[in-house]
Amino acid sequence: MQQAYKLLAAREGISNKKAKELIDRGLVYVEGKKLIIARAEVPDDTVFKIEMPEDIQIIYQDDDVIVVNKPAGVDSYEVQDAIEGAELLHRLDRDTSGVLILGKNRGYIKRAIEEFRHRRVKKEYVAWVEGVVYEEMIINEPIHTIKKGKAISKIDKRIGKPAHTEVYPDEVQGKKSRVNIVITTGRTHQIRVHLAHASHPIVGDMQYGSRTKAKRMLLHAHTITILGKKFVAPIPSDIQRYK
């Protein structure tokens, strides 16, 4: 038995630091399940599978903005670092795929920030959730986020900030449902927290109560409408159909 990241490093001929980074990014699997803890003790004959994220695809760009379809498994800041001269206007969780917008000049960035601040940006998501969703839900529960180390959010009626989420049923497969989600606020983990509060955590979101193991959290940012333009990221195959 030895620590997973050290065994992975030896197997792949990479540094311990690089191996730990791959595990922390959720890119390493053992027997079809994501390896969560880099320092976990694993047998010496453990077989690892590394699944690198897809390439970043550009959806649209002009002199003001560049819009990409962020793959799951990539941090939003990694996208920013990969595109010289562009600045993130918002963020998606590492495991969330979909529309990510970056500004290319200060004038556009300032205007876009004002749109976000005044809740004039429409964001539509698609997700698979635990349980059967038959009716639409409007969730208005204030959210408080603790950002010491790994961010975690919770419903807090006393000190939480306003958060508005609309959930619309789309499809049911067994005890899982595909839903369309619209948000106007953008609190950290808002969709994840609100759906968990409604007893429908997102499939694969172990942090907020999903009991179904998946290669990633099944949440996709499908469209964003800002400053009169609508940007669309095609729904990926793992969310088009569940299993």
Tally the C-alpha atoms within 13 A of residue 186's C-alpha that lie toward its C-beta. Answer: 19
Q: Which residues lie closer than 8 Å to 160 by C-beta, 6 or more apart?
A: 141, 142, 143, 144, 154
Residue 238 annotated in active site: no
Calpha distance 37→35 (Å, rounded): 6
Q: 204 is written with which tokens?
A: 């694969």
Calpha distance 210→203 (Å, rounded): 6
- Of the residues 44, 64, 81, 93, only one is catalytic, namely 93
The Cα angle at residue 14 between residues 13 and 20, in degrees rounded to 5 = 130
If we measure between CA atoms, which residue out of 236, 219, 228, 84 comes closest to residue 165?
A: 219
Q: 65 is written with which tokens?
A: 């903005």
Q: What amino acid occupies position 201?
A: P
- Beta bridge mates, 167: 137, 181
Decide the pairing of beta strands 65-70 and 97-103: antiparallel
Residues with a catalytic annotation lie at 93
